[in-house]
Amino acid sequence: MKKIIITVLIVVFALHANADEGMWMLNKIDEKTAQAMKELGLQLTPRELYNPDGVSLKDAVVDFGDFCSGVVVSPNGLVFTNHHCGYGAIQKLSTPEDDILANGFVAHSYAEERPAEGLFVRFLQRTEECSTRVMQALDSIYRANPTVESRILDKNNIDSICNAIERDYEKANPGMDCQVKSFYGGNAYYVSIYKVYRDIRLVFTATNTLGKFGGDTDNWMWPRQTCDFSVFRIYADENGEPADYSPNNKPLHPKRYAKISLDGYQPGDYCMTVGYPGSTSRYLSSWGIDERVNARNVSTIQVRGKKQEVWKKFMDADRAVAIKYASKWAGSSNYWKNSIGMNKAIANLGVIAQKQQLEDQIRQWYSGREDLKARFGSVFEKLQQAYADRRNDIYAQGFYNETFNRGIEIGLVGSRLCRMSQDADSAQIAVVREDLQSFFKDYDAALDEATTAALLQNYREQVTDQKYWPSCYKEIDSLYNGDCKAFAHDIFGKTICKDISCIDKLLADSTLREKDPVLRLSEEVPEISQMLYSKQRENNNIIKHNERMLTQALLEMDQENPHYSDANFTMRLSYGFIQDYTAQGQQFQYYTNAQSLLDKAAKQNEIEDYKLEDDIVKLMQTGKWGRYADKNTHDMHLCFISNNDITGGNSGSPMFNGKGELIGLAFDGNWEAMSGDISFNSSLQRCIGVDIRFVLFIIDKWGKADNLIKEIF
């Protein structure tokens, strides 16, 4: 095992990087990579990018809520991120009477800023390698049976080792949040140490029409005109340390904040993102890609499409319901369209065939050497068989999860109550009450009843093998003649689970656990999940081990080329340059301007996603851009594209120029390269960002937030 670690370190971290592909760890930028970035136009040294013992650019970048990225832009803790990253917090602060989600919000003073309950940001302090400790601990556990495969298969042992390392680091670094994560499919491990601030307040958001301009119509598309940003502020105690919300807290004075550039960009100009990409599968085998396309993505596309049809009817009919479900809709539709685009791009670009060619190269590489053949010779056969053996289970599991775990909401209430103590004095009751109060704030029972009926019917139509059906279908067939709508109407009429009173009703009458139809359903439905988990366990273990070995084979075979680890929501750097692209014979320019926004807004009567308020239209029609105008074209640039390598989680990532100055915020990728999480295509894949000048123009001229403009500059 030690030999494998050393090989990975030599192969991976001493390699020259491509200009446009790669999500690179900031603490592992070698001389060749630094030289490549310098040749493209970077004027900062690696030490100025990452310095755990001092101040560097990484100190201006934050993990925003553990789901997005953000950047500090002022000496008083002002944070820019995407509108869609702040969407959940904005939605929670909205009511029909004070609909800041629709109307926007501007705080002209600290006193007007609104606490965003539950939101937090993390600042990375440093990242350290801990592979040796993980592997030595596994050696100790498995001395009696020291096979590589048994070490890798036992996830529980790896988790317990990583948890122990985290506890040791947190003991040595009081107040810090320490996370150990695997890299290169389990070939290496690193611990990241974070300082976490939990008093975060909303400062600015534009109207929903501007922050989501283009909506589902333009999502994952270029060209874009979306002003996808929101502004928050970090608060701390009087010593600048993390603290829970208090009116006595003060704006944080950060170690470093990003300087903003109004100079713009040209094709070929250096561009760099620093942020937290969530998950990629670039090393996945051809069988794994096929499963992703034809088993996993199918359920995401099909079930969410059905669910969103129901949701839309209720949201269009009632603004209060629309506010409640705004954030849920955004989350659901985003990956619904992502899955559609991914499947289309993988097919159009022949990604599976490309992966098969690479696998043939690996076979040829090890075929002439017995030592390599002994290590890697059985990998492909085992992967092919294990993926085939679990195919039907994975297909059913996808529909099960989308239907019962992500679709039928009342079942989540039932599950929570089923696990709740019956002791009214238990501390657990307060936790459950707080969780469900938050849930019911954004819940509509009539919508959920209609969704439940539609998804129950859809599940039985899509998953035809009855061994995958929860036992509730026996009741539907025997008592309701197969009518899922009648079943849903009956259980919603009889259940206690539709509002917060359910807790007290259950505490007062424990027999409801057996009598309430939703509580009964919540006890029965997990039987399918447990069955699927049990059936897949052996194949899952085989796949995990052999996918890891396949990654190792590629790293050893291709030692002369760069290899970065798949994204895992740790801080990464991507570098490249501003660049347009051509797809299917059409040339796409590298930026959009104000007129393109007005052209789309003119279609708002036909396309709802292009709706804009009159005052915004008039503002954009003036053509008075002031210092925010581009110095070359003399118009307003709205969004732009680069060949930076990003994925989900990078939303809100700062886009820096060669001086380390902020020129935009990354918020999307392009439709033609939606296979990017699986395979990077340098000629097509683009990072879409909102121009920082567009952001500041809206803050200044629409929001009239002179206080923020003065603070930033």
Catalytic residues: 84, 228, 651
Classify 288 as helix, strand or coil. Answer: helix
Instruction: Supply 636's token pair.
Output: 């307003």
Instruction: Report the half-sphere exposure of 633 (CA within 13 A, side-chain side).
Output: 17
Q: Among 468, 487, 466, which residue's Cα sits nearest to residue 477?
A: 487
Q: Which two tokens stand for residue 238?
A: 């009087």
Please state, in angstroms and rounded to a whole number, the distance separating the CA atoms of residues 262 and 248. Answer: 35
Strands (E), 619-710: 637-642, 654-656, 662-669, 687-691
How many residues belong to the chain?
713
Q: What tokens were used for 222?
A: 């270029």
Question: In this structure, are residues 645 and 574 in contact, taking their beta carbons and an 8 Å threshold?
Answer: yes
How many Cβ atoms sit within 10 Å of the Cβ of residue 534?
Answer: 9
Longest dimension (CA), the chain: 77
Distance CA 445, CA 633 (A): 53
Distance (Å, whole) CA 240 – CA 425: 38
User: CA-to-CA distance for 356 and 343, rounded, in angstroms?
Assistant: 17
Tokens encoding 214: 């283009």
Can you say how many angstroms the Cα of residue 114 is from the centroid of all Cα atoms in its chain? Answer: 25
Closest CA to 284 of 567, 591, 521, 601: 567
Q: CA dist 112 to 203, 238, 247, 709, Å?
A: 8, 20, 12, 16
Rg (CA), the chain: 26
Name residue, tokens 């561009």: 271
H-run or E-run covering 370 = helix 370-376
Number of neighbouring beta carbons within 10 Å of residue 194: 20
Contacts within 8 Å (CB) and 24+ apart, 534-537: 535/390, 535/393, 536/390, 536/393, 536/394, 536/397
Residues contacting 541, CB < 8 A, separation 6+ = 153
Please, which residues bridge with residue 204 across strands? 106, 231
Q: HSE, CB side, 13 Å, CA atoms: give it for residue 206.
A: 28
* Cα separation, 31 vs 52, whole angstroms: 18
